[in-house]
Each structure stands twice: as C-alpha cells, then as structure tokens.
Amino acid sequence: MAQLRIGARWVLPVTDSPIENGRVVIDGGRIVAVESGAKPRVADLDYGDAVILPGFVNAHTHLELTGFRGRVPFTGSFGDWLRGLIALQSAEDAEQAMSRAIAEGLRQSLAAGVTTIVDAGCGQQAADAWCEARANVVGLFEVIGMGPRAGGSHSRSVETVRRLMEQCTARAEARGSLRLGMCPHAPYSTAPEVYRQAVAYVEERDLPIGTHLAETREELEFLFRGRGPLRELLEELGLWDGSFEPPEVPPVAYAEWLGLLACRPLLAHVNYVSEQDIALLAERRCSVAYCPRTHRFFQHEPHWYRQMLGSGINVCIGTDSLASNDSLSVLDEMRFLRAADPSLDGELLLAMGTIRGARAAGLDERVGSFEPGKRADLVAVPLAASRDPVDALLRGASEPMVVYLAGEPIDPRTL
C-alpha cells in the first residue's frame, strides 16, 4: 500500500510544537513521519482549515452505563446516588442492556474522536464488546467483594475474573489493540484481601490495574470510622458482616498499605487528598484520571489536579460514565476544563487528553502522539483561523470531521 499524506492548516504532534500547513505521513497503518509546510510535497488529502491531532484517550469510563444518561439525579449523597443506580440496573435485563450499552458507548466515543478507551466493565458481555471494538481498548474487569462476598466465587470475584481473562487472552492477542487488566472497584466495596489478590495477579503478569480512590467524603468516613451512607448501603445489599475493620487512614495511605501503589495504578478521581498524599502518589509514579464534568455533577470540592501536575503526577482526562456526564467526548471534557481554568496551559491540557492518557494505559509507545512507528490514530477538527491552534481548538465548538484508526478513515456521521 502506498504512503498517504494527510494535511491541514495545523498539525498538533502533542510531543512537539504545532506545525502550520503540516502533513502526517502514513504507511501500513503506522505513522512514518510528520512533515512541515516548508517541504515541497503536497498532501494526498488536505482537510483545509482544520487541525489534525492524535486520537483522544479516555482514561476512565464505564461504557456499560451508557444508557443511564440523566436517569439518576444526585441529591447530595453519593451513597443515595449509588442506591438509585443499582435499583435501575436491577430492573433491566442486565446482560442484554449491558451489551447494547457498551456497543453504543464505543460508537459515541469513536464519533467524538476517542480512539483509545480505558473501560471498567464486568463479565462476558464486556469481554465480547471489547474484543469487537474498532478502537484501542484497555479493558479493566471490575472486581468486587466485601463482607460475605469477600471470599468464594461470584461474578466479580478475583477467581471468576481471572478465569475470564485467561479465556479471553487469545482473542485479545489476536486483536492487537486490546489489553486486559483488573479494577478492584473501590475501598468501600472491595475487602483488603480481595485487593491483595488482584494486586498479586496483575503484578505477576505485568497487567494494568486501576481503582476508584478518594472519590467522596463518604469514602473517607467509611475508612476512618466504618460508618456513614456507604456502610448503610452495604448493609442493605447484604454485603456487611462486620469483618471489615476501618484502617483509620486516608484512602491514599490505605492503597499504599494494600500494596496497590507499587503497581503504578491508574487511579480514578482522587478528589480528596492532602499534600502528603500527593507526594506519595508522585513517588509511586501513579496516574490519576481526573473527570472534570463528573466532578461537577457530584458537587465535589475543588480538585487538586494543579498540585498533582506540579508534583509530576501523570494526570490525564476521563469522562466517567453517562450516568454522571453529558457525553463521552474527551474534547468536551478538555473544553469544559479550559473554560473553568483559563490559565491552565493549553498544550498541557491537550497532553492530558492524549499522550498522558496513553501513558496511564501503558500504551504511550503505541498511541497518543505523532511519532514514527506509532499507530495512525488521528482526528481532524475544523478550526477557525488562528495563530494559536491549541487555544482555538480548546475554545471552539467544532466536532471531529473525520477519525482515522490505523490509517483507515471513518466519517463520524456514518457511525
């Protein structure tokens, strides 16, 4: 197959400066070079007044909840919100609904220019959807087990997930763009011994691992005192037997005690921390998936992402699920954050939605920036005339006009 040169008014390599009238050279689904406008070669495809940049990376989502947009209002208690979500899930045909939701979430993501997704999901339905996805997927199987479900085998036990991962290994390897790992759900839903089982499994096999951490004040109350709305929810669900002993430490210190931070995990949210916590996360080289619009939905206190970035933590962008957000678009997420924090460096914000997410997913050698040898996943977005294309992209409202996966173009309107 002949080389293909794709050009536009601006090319954003992410790990290098913007290139005016640049071109991305693709061969065999890989990036061969990024050319400047000073070179005489003409693009085979020129998108004109647009910006070409790497496909976006969604560092944290739950595609299985795609069908729950606007259906579970937040009234001030995270425990109450979870209760409402669980009630809705229980009322539906779970398996069919999950399969449809993940497929629709993948479609919406790709239409928004998201070409790499870190998705926390459950069971065979998630595995099948991930294996059929056109985008790159890091599929993290959720592990849950508290009280009477901390031991034994059930649909989200470490043992069940381990078997499912081993069954899916051949399919994942055949896909080439699917990486499997585990996601012990959260400190209030996953007993210490279950966390440690998951940590041991992924450490031995060098697999990705993530968790929700320091997400709410209610989580802190649970860890320090073993009380509050999350304890009440566990009791209602029959998941409390008194065996959990509150460690009386903050979530980050608890994760360190569990051995989780040694795995360089991808930590979702991390909303409630201290300077000491941030120093430990930086020392352990953890990644943090900050979800700005979900953060607003739950009315959290200001996030510490600025301090985290200043400490060298790999902060990236996630959308979380549509149960707490308006879209699965990382570009929407970045634009929201830019409007909320105008002084945040635009190129840093762009990296948070691309190469930093790829790094958190363990895929930064493959995607997230325009460098020779990387997969040709890219997106073109119409752009008003500007001498600062990053700022224009982040302050604009245009949606992707075309998305490329491994060098193959996709019209978002046809998805």
Determine, yes or no, domain membership for 365: no
Strands in 103-226 per DSSP E:
114-121, 136-143, 178-184, 210-213
Residue 216 sits in the same domain as residue 282: yes
Are the C-beta atoms of residues 372 and 35 closer than 8 Å to each other? no
Task: Please count the structural domains in the chain.
Answer: 2
Q: Let me know how long the chain is.
A: 415
Which of the two residues, 172 and 379, has the higher pLDDT score? 379
408-410: strand order across its sheet: 19-20, 10-11, 50-54, 378-382, 402-405, 408-410
Instruction: State how far the Cα of 231 lies from the Cα of 225, in Å rounded to an integer.
Output: 10
Instruction: With a cut of 70, say whether residue 337 has pLDDT above it.
Output: yes
> What is the per-residue pLDDT for 415?
87
The string of pLDDT tens digits covering residues 271-292 is: 999 999 999 999 999 999 999 9
Whether residues 203 and 149 share a domain: the answer is yes
Q: What is the pLDDT of residue 385?
A: 87
The answer on pLDDT for 18 being more than 90 is yes
Point out the domain boundary residue: 327, 342, 360.
360
The answer on pLDDT for 89 being more than 80 is: yes
122 in the same domain as 240: yes
Whether residue 244 is found in the same domain as residue 386 = no
Q: How far is CA 2 from CA 23, 24, 28, 32, 212, in A?
A: 15, 14, 8, 12, 45
Higher pLDDT, 369 or 167: 369
In a domain, 386, yes or no: yes
The reply to whether 346 and 404 lie within a common domain is no
In a domain, 94, yes or no: yes
Instruction: Determine phi and psi for 250, rounding to 5 degrees.
Output: -65, 165
| Closest CA relative to residue 51, chosen from 410, 401, 364, 374 | 401
Q: What is the CATH number of the domain that holds 108?
A: 3.20.20.140
Residue 377 contacts by C-beta under 8 Å, 6 or more apart in sequence? Answer: 54, 55, 115, 116, 136, 367, 404, 405, 406
The percent of residues in the chain predicted with pLDDT above 90, rounded, is 89
Q: Which residue has the tokens 């790992």?
A: 181
98 in a structural domain: yes
Name the residue with higher pLDDT: 409 or 384.
409
Return phi, psi of residue 325, to 5°: -150, 170
- In angstroms, the CA 71 to CA 236 distance is 22
The model's confidence at residue 149, banded by pLDDT at 50, 70 and 90, is: confident
Question: Is the residue at 345 inside a domain?
Answer: yes
What pLDDT score was predicted for residue 1?
A: 58
Q: What is the pLDDT of residue 155?
A: 86
Place of tokens 């400047």: 36
Tokens at 330, concatenated = 């990382």
- Tell me the pLDDT of the chain averaged across its residues: 96
226, 288: one domain: yes
Go through 55-72 and write b for each residue having 16 or more CB atoms within 10 A of its CB, e for each that does not. Answer: bbbbbbbbbbbbbbeeeb
pLDDT (0 to 100) of residue 40: 60
Domain annotation covers residue 247: yes
- pTM (two decimals): 0.97
Name the least confident of 10-14, 268-272, 410-414.
410-414
| Same domain (yes/no): 27, 164 | no
Do 274 and 396 fall into the same domain? Answer: no
Report yes or no on 206 lying in a domain.
yes
What's the rounded mean pLDDT across residues 337-347?
A: 98
Contacts of 229 (CB under 8 A, 6+ apart): 77, 78, 79, 80, 218
Q: How confident is the model at residue 59 (pLDDT cuts 50, 70, 90)?
A: very high
Please report, for residues 81, 83, 92, 168, 170, the alpha-carbon distance to residue 71 in angstroms, rounded to integers and kept in the order given.
Answer: 10, 13, 13, 33, 37
What is the DSSP secondary structure assignment for residue 91, as one 8-state letter?
A: T
**What residue numbers bound the domain in which 10 lies?**
4-54+370-410
Tokens at residue 337, please?
């954050």
The values of phi and psi at residue 205, to 5°, are -110, 5
**Residue 169 pLDDT level (bands cut at 50, 70, 90):** confident
Whether 14 shows a pLDDT value over 90: the answer reads yes
pLDDT confidence bin for 2, thresholds 50/70/90: confident
Q: What is the CATH number of the domain that holds 397?
A: 2.30.40.10
Tokens of 27: 């061969």
Q: Is residue 257 part of a domain?
A: yes
